[in-house]
Amino acid sequence: KLSKRLQQIADLVPNGARLADIGSDHALLPVHLAERGMIAFAVAGEVNEGPLRAASKQVCEAGLTERIDVRLGDGLAVIRPGEVDVITIAGMGGALIVSILSAGLPKLEGVRTLILQPNVGEEAVRRWLVDHGWFLAKEHILEEDGKIYEILTAMRVPNAEKANVELYAPRQLAPSVTASPDRLLQMGPYLLEQASDTFIHKWLLELEKMERICAQLALSEAEASRRKEAELREYIAETEDIL
């Protein structure tokens, strides 16, 4: 049985996908989908030997070597142009996800759906999507084992070169929310609009963390600490307003 996090990602993979799961570790996601006949085939990419062996073993034991190709390589280097139409990248930092996508830009031609689950640094991922002609189509947030995860699903903007990319900017996705474009990218336009309990919980925890930093800064006499504290106070107040 998949974790709640991987199950949510699995649910987002379109039926019949030609999938690449990058950083697949034990290949749990592609194995789960292939066992249920939900995907045409999958590439399970891994940059590290240990996880690669684990993935191969898992695929072998499930009798799925015909459907899932386990490949060693960095990011999107494991896929050939046009080979897949859906890519999942889950369980790593947002900065790493962005660097994988940027390094593999030519491989994204023909890819229609990206399902990305950064453990941290969601803002960098949203910014990359908006800057590279992708439309943020859905956002999910969930809590499991005391951790909060966000899952971002993006589709290609049709005729990206010609389209008015502004039209796809987060502002349009959350018309009723009063946050700045930067704040929308940071907190997530759909997540803000839905304002689920988990989302509110995430940001209340974040505010608590900020308060603790403020309290630390308040102990210092230094001019720089004063300034930093004032900035942080403003940020906290703004976040409270948004919530």
Binding site for ligand SAM (CB under 6 A): 6, 22-25, 45-48, 51, 74-75, 90-92, 96, 100
**Structure tokens that stand for 37 in this block:** 């006949």
- Closest to ligand SAM by CB, 6 or 17: 6
- Min. distance of Cβ 50 from ligand SAM in angstroms? 8
Question: Alpha-carbon distance 45 to 48, whole Å?
Answer: 9
- Min. distance of Cβ 136 from ligand SAM in angstroms? 20
Give the torsion sign (CA, 233, 236, 238, 240).
Answer: negative
- Closest to ligand SAM by CB, 96 or 243: 96
- Closest to ligand SAM by CB, 53 or 112: 53
- Closest to ligand SAM by CB, 74 or 206: 74
- The total of other beta-carbon atoms located within 10 Å of residue 75's CB is 21
- The total of other beta-carbon atoms located within 10 Å of residue 103's CB is 13
- Min. distance of Cβ 8 from ligand SAM in angstroms? 11
- Min. distance of Cβ 23 from ligand SAM in angstroms? 3
Q: Are 154 and 111 within 8 A, CB to CB?
A: no
N- to C-terminal Cα distance for the chain? 35
- Min. distance of Cβ 130 from ligand SAM in angstroms? 22
Of how many residues is the chain composed?
A: 243
Q: Are 25 and 49 within 8 A, CB to CB?
A: no
- Closest to ligand SAM by CB, 96 or 148: 96
